[in-house]
Amino acid sequence: MIEGYAVPDFISDFWHYYIAAFTVAGILFSLWLLWSQSVVKPLAPGEQAEVMHPTWDGDLQELNNPLPRWWMWMFYLLIVFGIVYLVIYPGMGKFEGASGWSSAKAWQEEKTRVDAEFDKVFQPFAGKDLTVVAKDPTANKMGEHLFLTYCSQCHGSSGQGATGFPNLTDNKWLFGGTPDDVKASIANGRVAEMPGGLAGDVQGAKEVANYVLSLGGKQHDTALAAVGKAKYAACAGCHGEDGKGIAAAGFPNLTDDAWQYGGSEDEITKSIVKGRKGGMPAQLELLGENKVHLLAAYVWGLGGGQKPILVAPAAPDVAPADATAPAQ
């Protein structure tokens, strides 16, 4: 990265020199080709050009006429234009061009300009309590448009998710569903990974899967669950002995019905054997603070958000009255 803008990320300088040499060779070849045609003398008045073979349909012939001079000069000018372009703009491997222009920089400048215009619309809601913003019809409509643009591809247009993408309308939140938690998830992203285990031991994985199903009171094979209980010890470090997970660390509860990758015996077995890797990409850099604020309010207001945790005010630092003092 240079000044925050992406540049070609070559594994080694070989590819930089390869591209530069290939480009220069192409220009030199074009110059040589044009020069070789320039030395061909133009036909004298009345002189017949060389007839190329074969001849078609008895009298259809191809003549070896030299290129018109105006055409050749046009090609020379195009080559000069190409050289000037490569000096000013990037096109020679890692060389950035004398102007310093890049598509990433141009995109960022355009994005900054557009964001400044949008921020004028979003500004009235900036910094407001998310629970208040969520109840505002105008903010809710803006949040819906943002959600459909940036979030619906994974979570669905209604926020109910799909396999591998969590449902935002229930009250099962892996990283917390308070307004602040939702905003943190959108702004900073989340990483969720389940390491694979019992590789090659599908039967052992099925035993653990049945024990996990038993923790939630779901239909399971009692005999397999009894054997899987001991093997579940390797999972208890993250999900707890009771399977209820550790919300603060992002380890899911295995006893509820919020299974992101499916809660059947087969799907749980697959998760144990192969593991799962997912996460939520951070959006703050892409969207900016104001859009993230509106999105968080909208997502929290979809119906599955948890109430904010209210901290009781501290007791005033006043010495207790003397019970023995006479009443005034």
- 179 and 286 assigned to the same domain: yes
- 223 and 265 assigned to the same domain: yes
Query: Is the CB of residue 192 less than 8 Å from the CB of residue 275?
Result: no
Residue 328 located in a structural domain: no
CB atoms within 10 A of CB 67: 14
Residue 137: pLDDT band by 50, 70, 90 thresholds? very high
Lowest mean pLDDT among 136-150, 151-165, 216-230, 306-320: 306-320
Which residue range is the domain that position 17 belongs to?
1-40+50-101
Alpha-helical runs (H) found in the chain: 13-38, 69-88, 103-122, 130-134, 137-150, 152-155, 179-188, 202-215, 222-231, 233-239, 265-274, 284-287, 289-300
Q: What is the structure's pLDDT at 325?
A: 42
Cα–chain center distance at 115: 19
- 143 and 22 assigned to the same domain: no
- 184 and 201 assigned to the same domain: no
- 180 and 61 assigned to the same domain: no
- 285 and 183 assigned to the same domain: yes
The pLDDT tens digits of the residues spanning 83-108 come to: 999 999 998 888 888 998 988 889 88
Query: Is the CB of residue 145 less than 8 Å from the CB of residue 154?
Result: no
Residue 118: pLDDT band by 50, 70, 90 thresholds? confident
Residue 289 located in a structural domain: yes
Alpha-helical runs (H) found in 125-192: 130-134, 137-150, 152-155, 179-188
Residue 309 has pLDDT above 90, yes or no: no
Q: What is the structure's pLDDT at 277?
A: 87
- 120 and 174 assigned to the same domain: yes
CB atoms within 10 A of CB 297: 27
- 198 and 266 assigned to the same domain: yes
Residue 306 located in a structural domain: no
Q: Is-above-0.95 flag for pTM?
A: no
The pLDDT tens digits of the residues spanning 213-268 come to: 999 999 999 999 999 999 999 899 899 999 998 877 888 999 988 888 889 999 99
Encoded tokens for 152: 């619906």
- 88 and 18 assigned to the same domain: yes
Count of the separate structural domains present in the chain: 3
Q: What is the structure's pLDDT at 327?
A: 41
**Which amino acid would we find at residue 213?**
L
Buried b (16+ CB within 10 A) or exposed e, 31-51: eeebeeeeeeeeeeeeeeeee
Residue 3: pLDDT band by 50, 70, 90 thresholds? very low
